[in-house]
Structure 1
Amino acid sequence: MPQSISKVNYFRLLSDIISIVCVFVFSSFITKPELEKSDSILLLLLVIGWYFSTKISNTYDDFRTERYIGELLLIFQNVLVQSVIAGQVLFILNRHEYTRRFIFAYIVILLIVLIVKNYIIKKILFYYRQKGGNIRNVVFVGYNEITANLITQIQENPHYGFRVIGIIAKEEEVNDIGGNTYLGDLRKFLSMNEDYKIDEIIITTDEISNSLMQEVFMVSERRAIRTKIVPSYITYYPSRLQFKFFGNYPLITFRSEPLQEYHWRLVKRVFDIVFSLLVFLFIFSWLFPIIAILIKLDSKGPVFFRQYRWGKNNKKFKCFKFRSMRPESKDVTENGAFNQAKMNDPRITKLGQFLRSSSLDELPQFINVLLGDMSIVGPRPHAHEHNIRTKDEVDSYLVRHWIKPGITGWAQVNGFRGETKTIEQMEQRVKYDIWYIENWTLGLDFKIIFMTVYNVIKGEDMAY
């Protein structure tokens, strides 16, 4: 576990493991005729699995400021891992006769025990901290919007277990600190002999020289005070910062990117391939010939429309679609501007209107998915000319090209599909795309796919 874990969290971990052991024995007793040697192996794996799943999910790291609903979600998540471990181990051990009954009893009882136990611990801690126990005294260095917000959170949530001792700030900032105790400027605080009972110093200002910052650390270490820093730029990137090391040097990145992790890219790629093959097997195999024949009967020209679009890392690729426009149609106007499809666009054929409104024209892009140019879900790829025009007009536009483009995406299912008439509309689309990049999960992909199917059935105003 992280070095910063408190005694309270060690107690929570230990009590959870004891709960797992007790629930395991009880569940075995009510669902099996007798315990076997292999049960000890399963129990050991369940305990190890709980340790690592809670470590990965940071279950015990932020107990002081975690709301109870957040703890419930973590409990459900970790218990789900327990059910997977139990199911796999019992399957390998060929213990099918008791598997379902045992897993059902174990998971249900464990959920009830952990929920009740954590609720009781939460209430005991809340009462204990109200009486002044398990409280950490905090001093803030610097007074600004960040400081004010943190103090408000502490005051409105006494169960966090923090008490604000005072503010260290410049003399000209004294009138701005409200009802908080003023402890003087930083130099005065460092030189004073008076002993405050301080557990933590939180620095929220960047107006401190390197030499003075080093002195703060030295004095804090001498007085056994933990020092923490809230970067001023946190106000611009409140939930996206990630802290990593490059050798011995700490690096702060401004955006969370789950798909930077190789294992998640592999999971997404496997899902893309399996899903695409199922589409080809059950839908494309019979629907493709029908659409191809209808396109040929409706107008002269090729079945497919191929257009260069930008993919991951701005790499161009040929994107496949069923042709929905007349073959002589142009993507670029005479003055060189990209000619987006519009409502009642005369270039669109009669069959093309149906294909576009039903999104069936996008089906050939599953070929691009199998080729590795696209994903099932991701930011929609734009034509080359569209990218050239927009990348300098919309901030962060090219961030959407950090991952593979998708057949459908978070922006599309939230109403931003088709023609973008204004820069503001494109900015909103880009915000949704970047949110997807920062918050990707496989579950989110499933959600977007279901929303896409629902929108297609319901019909969309911008599908033209």
Structure 2
Amino acid sequence: MSDIIAIACVFTFSSFITKPEFEKSDSILLLLLLIGWYFSTKISSTYDDFRTERYIGELLLIFQNVLVQSIIAGQVLFILNRHEYTRRFVFVYILILLIVLIIKNYIIKKILLRYRQKGRNIKNVVFVGYNEITSNLISQIQDNPHYGFKVIGIIAKEEEGYDFGGNTYLGDLQKFLNMNEDYKIDEIIITTEEISNHLMQKIFVLSEKRAIRTKIVPNYITYYPSRLQFKFFGNYPLITFRSEPLQEYHWRLVKRVFDIVFSLFVFVFIFSWLFPIVAILIKLDSKGPVFFRQYRWGKDNKKFKCFKFRSMKPESNDVTEKGTFNQAQMNDPRITKLGQFLRSSSLDELPQFINVLLGDMSIVGPRPHAHEHNIRTKDEVDSYLVRHWIKPGITGWAQVNGYRGETRTIEQMEQRVKYDIWYIENWSLGLDFKIIFMTVYNVIKGEEMAY
């Protein structure tokens, strides 16, 4: 609520000092800015974990949400044909809003920290179960007093040699459920799965009776600490092991619109003159077709014909005498003289914008591999097929991090897959822009693995 009030006050002040009078259209703009703030903070989870968010993390979220405000303000004023005030108002509004929000959050953090250091606004926590998860959570609480938590004790089976990290031992679960002591407990956090459904039900009854909030940390979170995603399927909660932003229809739509707009821009302003030049040079360099088409695996392992400018001699074979897939190598005799330049400059990949418009590929995504390459690798790298959950790309996160071209070892392929999966789990339109800029930069400076 304080942020909403800050936006309204800053908007009014900025309007007062940059425009002669307040108009009805300004009320529409303010309403849209407030709506935009609501949705941008919702999407970025700005308010979801206030206690455990560090100040630097809050600053990054502030910058992100204020950027959305600047885009909304600029676009709305442009549509309303208020060009004479657009730049001045947007600059003043964004600058003051940024300063106000930064100072406000800093002051609130300092006040709460001082308040909690005096033992106020503290949540008393009891852990059920003692294991690595419990120990790590307690360390985080102790190392970060601004979280505002205090560990009252541990409920677990007493085993010989256990000191429970120096924390108070409150007995086993049965003793805790039957105890008469009136501990001041705000939250119970269960970190063990060695509890029967019957005892779990008793914990819930006790916590409800004493108005204690109960939370559960899944024990298998140690295997997938940053990938878990919680959703509902009807009335049933589901935990998935990987976060996939592109599972959401609206994000897939955003990515698809970006792919189409970007590809059309490239076709109109670059391909219109570059394609004929490259086609003529390929024909002059060697006999054979201009394009090389090869079956590759796309989203959901569906095969499609991938377009490239031909960079090898027409009689070249993709399969060795032993029947294995023949990857392009350094000083590969199959590559033509022009092909060496096309591959080192990545110009051979440009026809894949056709695949983007056809819907088989995206601008950014895991690079598609040849059919035979997929067949060989999917059984050697456990998570290999995960990269096919989304459309393949002309460029990708693995490629801009040095994993492009030939993969000589399984370890190299595992690293490439690791980068591809990270991209799937952390996708954003901003990340796509970053990868595109990194790709252009790498092409200009040259890449060791581009052959």
TM-score (norm 1): 0.94
Q: CA deviation at 1:176?
A: 4.6
User: What SS is found at the alignment partner of 2:440?
Assistant: helix
- Return the alpha-carbon distance in structure 1 between the equivalents of residues 276 and 25 of structure 2: 56
Aligned partner of 1:193 in structure 2 is: 180
Please state if 1:21 is matched with 2:30: no
User: What SS is found at the alignment partner of 1:265?
Assistant: helix
User: What SS is found at the alignment partner of 1:178?
Assistant: helix
Among 26, 31, 55, the alignment partner of 1:44 is 31
Aligned partner of 1:125 in structure 2 is: 112
Q: 1:322 to 1:86 in 2, by over 3 A?
A: closer
Return the letter of the residue paired with 1:143. Y
Aligned partner of 2:205 in structure 1 is: 218
Contact 2:135/2:165 (8 A) holds in 1: no
Q: How does 1:4-403 map to 2 (within 5 A)?
A: 13=1, 15-172=2-159, 175-403=162-390
User: What SS is found at the alignment partner of 1:335?
Assistant: coil
User: What SS is found at the alignment partner of 1:421?
Assistant: coil
Q: CA deviation at 1:67?
A: 0.6
Contact 1:49/1:85 (8 A) holds in 2: yes
User: What SS is found at the alignment partner of 1:398?
Assistant: helix
Q: 1:428 to 1:88 in 2, by over 3 A?
A: same
Contact 2:7/2:34 (8 A) holds in 1: yes
Shifted more, 147-156 versus 348-357: the winner is 348-357
- Return the alpha-carbon distance in structure 2 between the equivalents of residues 169 and 323 of structure 1: 67
Return the letter of the residue paired with 2:353. F
- Structure 1 segments, 4+ long, off by >6 Å, are none
Q: CA deviation at 1:37?
A: 3.8
Q: 1:46 to 1:280 in 2, by over 3 A?
A: closer
- Return the alpha-carbon distance in structure 2 between the equivalents of residues 135 and 208 of structure 1: 28
- Return the alpha-carbon distance in structure 2 between the equivalents of residues 45 and 35 of structure 1: 16
Among 399, 414, 420, the alignment partner of 1:412 is 399
User: What SS is found at the alignment partner of 1:170?
Assistant: coil
Q: 1:38 to 1:305 in 2, by over 3 A?
A: closer
Aligned partner of 2:432 in structure 1 is: 445
Residues 397-443 of structure 1 deviation map (CA, whole Å, 9 limit, x = unaligned): 00000011111111011111111111000000000000011111111
Contact 1:333/1:339 (8 A) holds in 2: yes
User: What SS is found at the alignment partner of 2:162?
Assistant: helix
Q: 1:447 to 1:42 in 2, by over 3 A?
A: closer
Q: 1:411 to 1:110 in 2, by over 3 A?
A: same
Contact 1:140/1:203 (8 A) holds in 2: yes
User: What SS is found at the alignment partner of 2:279?
Assistant: helix
Return the letter of the residue paired with 1:416. Y
- Return the alpha-carbon distance in structure 1 between the equivalents of residues 149 and 114 of structure 2: 14
Return the letter of the residue paired with 2:427. W
Among 428, 444, 451, the alignment partner of 2:415 is 428
Shifted more, 386-395 versus 66-75: the winner is 66-75
Q: 1:345 to 1:63 in 2, by over 3 A?
A: same
- Return the alpha-carbon distance in structure 2 between the equivalents of residues 173 and 60 of structure 1: 43
Residues 155-207 of structure 1 deviation map (CA, whole Å, 9 limit, x = unaligned): 00001000000111111176151211111111111111111100000011111
User: What SS is found at the alignment partner of 1:175?
Assistant: coil
Q: CA deviation at 1:80?
A: 2.2
Q: CA deviation at 1:315?
A: 0.3
User: What SS is found at the alignment partner of 1:181?
Assistant: coil
Return the letter of the residue paired with 2:198. S
- Return the alpha-carbon distance in structure 2 between the equivalents of residues 452 and 194 of structure 1: 64
User: What SS is found at the alignment partner of 1:407?
Assistant: strand
Q: Percent identity?
A: 90
- Return the alpha-carbon distance in structure 2 between the equivalents of residues 40 and 298 of structure 1: 65
Return the letter of the residue paired with 1:123. K
Residues 272-315 of structure 1 deviation map (CA, whole Å, 9 limit, x = unaligned): 11221222222222222222222222222111111111000000
User: What SS is found at the alignment partner of 1:143?
Assistant: coil
- Return the alpha-carbon distance in structure 1 between the equivalents of residues 226 and 98 of structure 2: 30
Task: Note the aligned Cα RMSD (angstroms).
Answer: 1.5
Gaps of 5+ in 1: 1-12
- Return the alpha-carbon distance in structure 1 between the equivalents of residues 163 and 408 of structure 2: 46
Q: CA deviation at 1:92?
A: 4.2
Contact 2:309/2:349 (8 A) holds in 1: yes
- Return the alpha-carbon distance in structure 1 between the equivalents of residues 441 and 398 of structure 2: 15
Shifted more, 345-354 versus 49-58: the winner is 49-58
- Return the alpha-carbon distance in structure 2 between the equivalents of residues 44 and 456 of structure 1: 45
- Return the alpha-carbon distance in structure 1 between the equivalents of residues 65 and 165 of structure 2: 43
User: What SS is found at the alignment partner of 1:305?
Assistant: strand
Return the letter of the residue paired with 1:100. R
Contact 2:185/2:212 (8 A) holds in 1: yes
Gaps of 5+ in 2: none
Contact 1:139/1:200 (8 A) holds in 2: yes
Aligned residues: 451
